[in-house]
Amino acid sequence: MTIGKFRIHREGYKIIAGVIIALTAMNIAGWLIWPGPTLWHWVALGVSLLLLAFVLMFFRTPARPLEPDPLLIYAPADGKIVVIEETFEKEYFRDSRLQISIFMSPFNMHSNRYPISGTVEYTNYQAGKKFHARSPKSSELNERSSIVIKSESGTEILVRQVAGAVARRIVTYSKKGDKVHQGDELGFIKFGSRVDIFLPTETVVDIGMFQQVRASRTILARVI
């Protein structure tokens, strides 16, 4: 859905419609119960419009075309870098990997993009807890969805969508065997979350801690 130049993600259609119906009903009920207009009627209307604007902003999905480059690894999500460290990845690689984690606040764009082009080698969804997305244990204990992409050169990268304390649903479009392109959409996380990316340890990192990054715009690292 496009409103002028403002694009709305399809994952938000039902939620936005529900919010509009609920807010309209509440405002109409307020006018019927307490005849107005009064200051409180206008306050309620203002709060309703702000809430609707927040929901619309949350489900925005800007177009971010890019020229694929096999030597670059782009950010898979908008947000802030909260982890850059070598860690033991237990689910798929079962060896040491360079982990970069991006914390997505409710004000970030929540569409997730492929950091590289290649073939989807693995997908796995796991239900879990609701620890805050900044917590290190959220990557292993929270609801999460893991996707492994193998580039034409043979490099494998794992992208993990992690639900946070207020996230209600992880959506992953990836299926094993899919041919995917750098910058295309891999999924969406609703209302606050985190995305981890696991890279070969020899990867050259281009970003720093607490840096703000943008999906398909910020270069996270370079393949050697």
| Bridge partners, 212 (sequence order) | 80
Which sign does the torsion angle of CA 58, 190, 113, 177 carry? negative
Determine how many CB atoms are found less than 10 A away from the CB of residue 29: 10
Compute the chain's Rg from CA coordinates.
20
Cα–Cα nearest to 156, from 123, 182, 121: 121
Set 48, 101, 138, 193: catalytic member: 193
CB 96 within 8 A of CB 125: no
Which sign does the torsion angle of CA 179, 69, 63, 217 carry? positive
Residue 193 falls in the annotated catalytic set: yes
Catalytic residues: 193
